Amino acid sequence: MRKAAFHNLGCKVNSYETEAMQQLLEEAGYRIVPFGEEADVCIINTCSVTNVADKKSRQMLHRAKKQNPDAVVVAAGCYAQAAGEALFEDSAVDLVIGNNKKKDLPAILERYFADRSQNREIADISGEREYERLHISRAAEHTRAFMKVQDGCNQFCSYCIIPYTRGRVRSRMLSEAVREAGELAAAGYKEIVLTGIHLSSYGTDLHACGKGEEPADLLSLVTRLDEIPGIERIRLGSLEPRIITREFAGALACLRTVCPHFHLSLQSGCGATLKRMNRHYTPEEYRERCGILREAFENPAITTDVIAGFPGETEEEFRETMAFVEEIGFYEMHVFKYSKRAGTRAAGMEGQVPEPVKAQRSNELLALGGRLSGAYRRSFLGREEEVLLEEETALNGKAYMAGHTRQYVKAAVPYREGLKNQTVRGTFSHFLDGETLFLEENGGR
């Protein structure tokens, strides 16, 4: 029996695809071992979102070959798609598998073991129109399962390489997504997190190409998943602001499972900077969409991404972003220093911001994000909420079961047997540490 080890880099979509590839190899008779142990095959699911991600991908490929010199080292995913000839010449890499080829991993490996000259499996991703049919029946986490329903992006933001490594929008058939969610629910998963490269575009290609067996968009998908017995929560991945209309938010608010936790990508609170980024909304539109969510849901968690030091960002423009972020009052922010990415329009823009300035702006955003996050968590003190318990943890020398509210606020109750994957209700009385709230239980369900 051949042994295979995996290492994942990058986003939740990559995590899903790594789990799917693991299950494909298990079905093909491979034994999955931890990365770093002796293996016949080492698969690195790479990332290429920034130059730093490229570097980490290369480092992990070389680390895999150093740890297992006789193993077949496989570069899969976005960096494999983007790097092209450079990877074919890398002595640490035996086999290169691009996006939309991961589903064929067992067959590709068998061909490679039979004839080691066939080491390139990369499609012209820009021409791909079919969704890659990857599937999972279980997830690495025990209570929450990430489920990929969409791939590709048509937005072409000026800083982003993803449309070139993932291709155009491709959506999973609604019936296939419903079937997988049902299997995950039957396996005991109570929370499904929908993921995609550009989740808001789900279904647009099905209409355009006539591939859907029925009309499909993100709302119709969530509505169907809401009907599945056993699923208690549906959490949405990153959304574009313009999908948030009163009709969309109102319909979501009527569903029993939808979590009031929304990640709306911002990137900048300055209109001029958003224009240079080729983002398709204004700060005013973004503010309006946050207001719509707060009308439809009580105290929703709104999270976002912000880029510090985008080319041409002046001090005045940065201050606009700081003021906008404070006004919106995000629960959490992912802050990134702008990183030049070869092959993108932004890499050639004038006004590249010096590294020390980017670092200073990033630090200011992080500090502001920390204050806003603390304020949002404190708003739960004295409130009654439900928590889905996920894992045992030690806090202040005592054992607890920790989990998250529907808003994804971390909370804990005193440890006792049988609580994992159970939902409990109660009132938040105090903090156990900087981010974990203590729940005084009222009972469970």
Q: Which residues on neighbouring strands pair with residue 386, listed in sequence order? A: 425
Quick: pLDDT tens for 100-126.
899 999 999 999 998 877 667 766 677
Q: Which helix (H) or strand (E) holds 307?
A: strand 301-308
Which residues have CB under 8 Å from 215's CB, separation 6+?
203, 207
Report the pLDDT value the prediction gives residue 444, as an integer from 0 to 100. Answer: 47
Report the pLDDT value the prediction gives residue 445, as an integer from 0 to 100. Answer: 46
Q: What's the one-letter identity of residue 263?
A: H
Quick: pLDDT tens for 277-296.
999 999 999 999 999 999 99
Q: CB–CB of 18/8 below 8 Å? A: yes
| Average pLDDT in the chain | 93
Q: Which long-range contacts (CB under 8 A, 24 or more apart) does 204-208 make?
A: 204/169, 204/171, 205/129, 205/168, 205/169, 205/170, 205/171, 206/171, 206/173, 206/174
Q: Which long-range contacts (CB under 8 A, 24 or more apart) does 55-63 make?
A: 56/9, 57/9, 58/90, 60/7, 60/9, 61/90, 61/92, 61/93, 62/92
Q: What's the one-letter identity of residue 207?
A: H
Give CA–CA dist 318/333, Å, rounded.
Answer: 16
Mean pLDDT of residues grouped by 10 in the chain (445 residues)? 95 94 96 95 94 92 94 93 83 90 93 80 72 83 90 95 93 95 96 97 80 77 97 97 98 98 98 97 98 98 98 98 98 95 93 98 98 98 97 94 98 96 96 96 65
Nearest to 388, CA basis, from 141, 142, 139, 143: 143
Report the pLDDT value the prediction gives residue 422, as an integer from 0 to 100. Answer: 95
Q: CB–CB of 276/321 below 8 Å? A: no
Tokens read off for 175 = 């019936």
Report the pLDDT value the prediction gives residue 210, as an integer from 0 to 100. Answer: 60
Give CA–CA dist 150/347, Å, rounded.
Answer: 27
Tokens read off for 403 = 């989990």
- pTM of the predicted model as reported, rounded to 2 decimal places: 0.92
Give CA–CA dist 255/233, Å, rounded.
Answer: 10
